[in-house]
A and B are shown apart, each in its own frame.
Chain A
Amino acid sequence: MGVSRLRALGAFACMLALFAFAAFAYTAAQLEAIATGELIPEINAAAGIALAKSYAGTKTEDYLKDLAANGLTIGLRTAASGALSIIWTGKVSAKTMTEADLTAIINDAKVAEMVRVAAIDPIQVLLITKAAAALKTMATDTAATHESRLAAAKAYYVKSRTNVKIVSIPVLETAAVTSDSAELAYAAGETLGGWYLSFAPKTQAEYETLAISGSSEGLRVAGKVALTPLLLSTSVTDLETKLLDVLNIKSAEYRQAYQDALAYQFGL
């Protein structure tokens, strides 16, 4: 599985990262090495995503908060953020962390971004008990942080999934372009991607086009969500090569589809 990581960056002419691994599953140490030294951001981040579970089991919360805030690379910050998310989800389940605790993190602009990101998934389990209307209001609160609005927006669409006026393909396609907040549009796009996969499947080429050229972030997110599962069987080598090839593609969502697929392969 692991291969020599010699890459030519063309116009960037930067120092290249070389990592050689034997062909077996990636260890935490190997993932750390990639998350520390890999120069291509999506590959770096993919290693971080795959590292989160290991960090959740081996690092302290204080260490992770510091790393999520101050880690030198996106991969290390992503790993720490993902680990915190896992730990806090467990705490919510054990009822040792409350909505107030998570709100104090997610809605404080002074808290580091990746620490706020870590609170998005755990707080949803608590947000989902609110009425859809209340969640929509939270998702449009300009006084709140982006992460707070995004968590509410995601919860809003989970909560509203039985409401055809809110969740059906035509309505979602509109909402992914124009919603009362960017976060609602993003969450609409995530939901739309799932709907395409489940009830109105498209070809991989169509998802790629949507992820690259969708007229809004929400539509590109829809493309990404639907595209990622189709990439999971791709080899590490091919995914890394692709991420090198698409460095200049503007759509972050498109690159994230390959990033997430690579993270999956790293974690196998």
Chain B
Amino acid sequence: MKRLIVILAALTAILMIPVAVSAQGYDKQPADAVIVPLGVAGTDYAALEPGVRGGTVYVGTISNPKKWNAVTAHETSTTQYTNIMQPGLVNLNPITAGYDPELAKSWEVSDENKVITFKLRQGLKWSDGTPFTADDVVFSFMDLYLNEDVETDTRDVLQLPDGNFPVVEKVDDYTVKVVCSVAFRPILNSMTANILPKHKLEQFVHKLHPEVAADAFNQIWGLDTDPKELVGMGAFMVESYTPDLNVVMKRNPYYYHYDSKGTQLPYLDKYVVLTVASQDVLLLKYQNGEIDCFAPRPQDIPILKPEEKQKNLTVLVNKEMPGFGTTWVVLNWDTQDTKYRELFRTLKFRQALAHLFDKDTMIRNLFNGLAVPQWSPVSYLSPYYAGREKYAGPVTEKNAVVFPYDLEKAAALLDEIGLKDTNGDGWRDFADGTPVEIELNTNAGNTTREGACLIIADDAKKVNLKVTTAFIDFNVLVNRLMGQEDYKAIYLGLTGGTEPHSGANVYMSTGGLHAWHYSAATGDITEVEKRVDELTNLAAAEFNLDKVFEYYKEYQIILSQDLGFLYTINQAFVYSYYNRIGNAQVASPNATPSGNNGLTMDFIFRKS
């Protein structure tokens, strides 16, 4: 008997081993895998090359993530990881910025463009081996993004022009239908939203499980979560997180991208993001070779250029191509102090401030000439940019809304609205004699933004307007921008893209990031905000791109005139990488190996 037990135990142990081994990764390439045609002539990827598996790439950041929850994230310090871990139904092509099928392999539009039917890739699995199905897509949209209990910016972007939201329905295990009450052109952009695993997360959704609190999902997947609990379908998953040190991401064995030779991607075993104190330290660590790829600022170039050949690295500079996104000063129209609230809501004050922005000095001093003045909420590279005269036309800046650097004009406007030095101390005061003092915040460690704040404060001083600067932690800054803490003025930036509607969460009066005037959502809305809302909806419903361009042109002009955001400058594209990293030359404003959309991470590889 004892011998039988021993034999049975041995057999069990032997039988268990193959099960454990085959639990990691596909047995063979899924039929619906995404093939990335690296090096294939006639494709977008022709200039790249197939790589080899193995190794780790190191990049850097100056901010810790705030959470691992893609749905509730508001900040790039979080989305740089969640975008890698959880792709959407469609994704941006890193080379063309067009839409590529991702978790969906195809789609069809029907019923007067009001219905999009997505065919999902079959045979794919989440990183824990659970099959991916339409249930995950329906769950992500209907139970997370469109669930009022969940705090998410994505809901704003999903809203249709008539105020309704699309309905995402399951047709079968691998087909979903997105049904809109009206035609909604930007819906494809919204389908880049991260898809989350139903089997891991539905237990935290009050709508599905009333026994949990209504805001339970908003608390889930915080930084204290065991990384083993994080599940996704992206190239990498978080393996470990050490605050102020690093985030280590490891290859997802169930990733569904393959190169044209049949090698499963990502090529890298690991992708490590080092957290450092500042961009200065980031630069030095890149120089030391601890970081493989790096987004320098123009002022870093003189330090890197002499070492380019010696250290076998590449410094990419494109003066004609500013990056996506916007950089601006925002005044808090809802600040607690009623005197400042009234001041910031006064257009002439905002105009005065705009005339204080010495953009040429910022470009010269902070960017060594490698930047352009910015005036519009829409990125320069967008075909809808109002610096063009027609959709995708050449940039002429004929329609640009310009507030020239003009201290006299600024001073005159300040005089006009009654801000004068009443007590002879050299600083302007309110009419009642209270000193005017505006604290301008930005994130500590970002020396470019700090420099811009100092230039602004210095110019404000020239017209006797007291602007002080305080540089604070990025996540604290985000809290203030989100209206969770009071503030007067912030200098910051937002990412952008080719589709202006992706800014709906910012520029619409009810948007979750309508940072200068959150109270507009509760009825305190201006005429400009009403018109911006109208134009956003008109542009979203229109499929004639020339008409769309006209809507967005007016939208950009009135937003720029109204100065909710006071735009500053936009940096030219610069990037740097060690030549030991294969395919890093793909870097562009669309995507970089150290950027926050993760679009290139599956085909970057180590040559040595």
Contacts and interface: CB of A to CB of B under 8 A. Distances in A.
Interface of A: 89, 93, 95, 121, 124-125, 128-129, 158-159, 161-164, 167-168, 191, 193-195, 197-199, 225-226, 228-229, 232-233, 260, 264
21 contacts: A93-B274, A93-B285, A93-B290, A128-B284, A129-B281, A158-B303, A159-B447, A162-B299, A162-B450, A167-B299, A194-B301, A197-B306, A198-B301, A199-B301, A199-B368, A229-B305, A229-B306, A229-B307, A232-B309, A232-B310, A260-B310
Interface string B285-312: 1001010000000011111111111100
B277 interface: yes
Nearest to B445: A129
Given A129-B278, A159-B280, A225 B285 contact: no
B261 interface: no
Nearest to B311: A264
Given A124-B284, A162-B299, A229-B307, 4 more contacts: A95-B245, A128-B284, A161-B303, A164-B361
A67 B208 CA distance: 69
Given A95-B245, A129-B278, A199-B368, A161 B285 contact: no
B308 A162 contact: no
A85 to B, nearest CB: 9
Nearest to A128: B280
A198 B305 contact: yes
A197 B302 contact: yes
Contact of B369 (A121, A163, A194, A199): A199
Interface in B406-452: 447-448, 450-451
Contacts of B361: 164
B308 A229 contact: yes
A152 to B, nearest CB: 14
Interface string B355-376: 0000001001110110000000
Given A129-B277, A129-B278, A162-B448, A194 B302 contact: yes
- Of B245, B305, B447, the most chain A CB neighbours within 10 A belong to B305
Given A225-B306, A232-B309, A164 B300 contact: no
| Majority secondary structure, A binding face | helix
B283 interface: yes
A125 B368 CA distance: 24
B250 to A, nearest CB: 20
Nearest to A124: B284
Given A158-B303, A197-B302, A121 B288 contact: yes
A162 B305 contact: no
Contact of A164 (B274, B304, B309, B365): B365
A121 B308 CA distance: 18
Given A197-B305, A229-B309, A162 B281 contact: no
Contact of A193 (B278, B304, B306, B451): B306
A82 B307 CA distance: 16
Contacts of A197: 302, 305-306
Contacts of B303: 158, 161, 191, 194
B564 to A, nearest CB: 27
Contact of B302 (A121, A124, A159, A199): A199
Contacts of A159: 280, 447
A125 B305 contact: no
A89 B302 contact: no
Contacts of B281: 125, 128-129
A89 B290 contact: yes
Contacts of A260: 310
Contacts of B299: 161-162, 167
Nearest to A226: B306
Nearest to A190: B306
Contact of A198 (B290, B368, B448): B368
| Majority secondary structure, B binding face | helix
A179 B371 CA distance: 31
- Of B285, B306, B307, B361, the most chain A CB neighbours within 10 A belong to B306
A161 B368 CA distance: 10
Contacts of A232: 309-310
Contacts of B308: 229
Interface in B151-188: none
Contact of B451 (A162, A226, A228, A264): A162
A228 B290 contact: no
Contact of B305 (A158, A161, A167, A194): A194
Contacts of A191: 302-303
A199 B245 CA distance: 35
Contacts of B285: 93, 125
Nearest to B308: A229
- Of A95, A193, A229, the most chain B CB neighbours within 10 A belong to A229
A74 to B, nearest CB: 20
Nearest to B58: A93
A142 to B, nearest CB: 26
A195 to B, nearest CB: 5
A93 B291 CA distance: 11
A161 B367 CA distance: 10
B290 A158 contact: no
A158 B364 CA distance: 17
Contacts of B365: 162-164, 168
Contacts of B368: 198-199
Contact of B306 (A93, A121, A167, A194): A194
A191 B306 CA distance: 10
Nearest to B277: A129
Interface in B242-300: 245, 274, 277-278, 280-281, 283-285, 288, 290, 299-300
Contacts of B300: 161
A233 B308 CA distance: 13
Given A159-B280, A229-B306, A264-B309, A125 B288 contact: yes
A124 B288 CA distance: 11
A19 to B, nearest CB: 24
A83 to B, nearest CB: 14
Contacts of A163: 365, 451
Nearest to A267: B310
B302 A228 contact: no
B306 A228 contact: yes
A217 B300 CA distance: 23
B231 to A, nearest CB: 30
A139 B304 CA distance: 23
B585 to A, nearest CB: 20
Nearest to B284: A125
Nearest to A122: B288
- Of B303, B304, B369, the most chain A CB neighbours within 10 A belong to B303
Contacts of B290: 89, 93
Contacts of A125: 281, 284-285, 288
A197 B290 CA distance: 24
A228 B308 CA distance: 11
A162 B284 contact: no
Contacts of A199: 301-302, 368-369
Nearest to A201: B305
Interface string B60-95: 000000000000000000000000000000000000
Nearest to A196: B302
A174 B274 CA distance: 37
B288 A89 contact: yes
Nearest to A230: B309
Contacts of A193: 306
A91 to B, nearest CB: 12
- Of B278, B299, B301, the most chain A CB neighbours within 10 A belong to B299
B306 A128 contact: no
B245 A162 contact: no
A117 to B, nearest CB: 16
A161 B281 CA distance: 13
A161 B288 contact: no
Nearest to A194: B302
